[in-house]
Structure 1
Amino acid sequence: MSQSSLNRRLTQLFGILLGIGIAVWLLRGFGLITFIPGGIIWLLLLGAIAVGILGYVQKTWWRF
């Protein structure tokens, strides 16, 4: 897998995790899905941040 392909996949994963995390957070705030614990939402958002940082590091620092 080339570097640009990996970076594109990491960027897509970042967007998906962030989008799902925000959507679940908003729907839970409106009271539509109250059965999802807050820890799951935090895991989604923190996972998105971790993937975003990994994508940035992969793009700028790894020179393979």
Structure 2
Amino acid sequence: MTQTFGFLLVCLIIITVVVYVLRGISILTFIPGGAIWLLLLFTILTAILYNFARVKRY
């Protein structure tokens, strides 16, 4: 379970950074700011879930 959240977290961080940088240099200007905020919030939520899964005691 931890590996799944870890893989998802790394993928989301990479996608978020790439989209943010490409929108910043005016390549992806058609993406609304709300979509970037949702991507960022989903990344933060995944990081929190990953942390909970990592420290969970069995």
Q: Same fold (TM over 0.5)?
A: yes
Q: What percent of counterpart residues are identical?
A: 40
Normalising by structure 2, report the TM-score: 0.89
Contact 1:15 1:48 in 2 (8 A): no
Residue 10 (structure 1) shift: 0.3
Aligned-pair distance for 1:45?
A: 1.3
The reply to whether residue 30 of structure 1 matches residue 25 of structure 2 is yes
TM-score computed with the length of structure 1 as normaliser: 0.81
Aligned-partner residue type, residue 50 of structure 1:
L
Deviations 1:27-61, CA, capped at 9 Å, x for gaps: 00100110000111111111111111101111213
Give the superposed CA RMSD: 1.0
Q: Distance in 1 between matches of 2:23 and 2:10?
A: 20
Give every structure 1 segment of 4 or more consecutive aligned residues whose post-TM-superposition deviation is greater than 3 Å. Answer: none
Greater gyration radius: 1
Aligned residues: 58
For structure 1, list consecutive stretches of 5 or more residues without a partner in the other structure. 1-5
Q: 2: distance between equivalents of 1:37 and 1:55?
A: 27
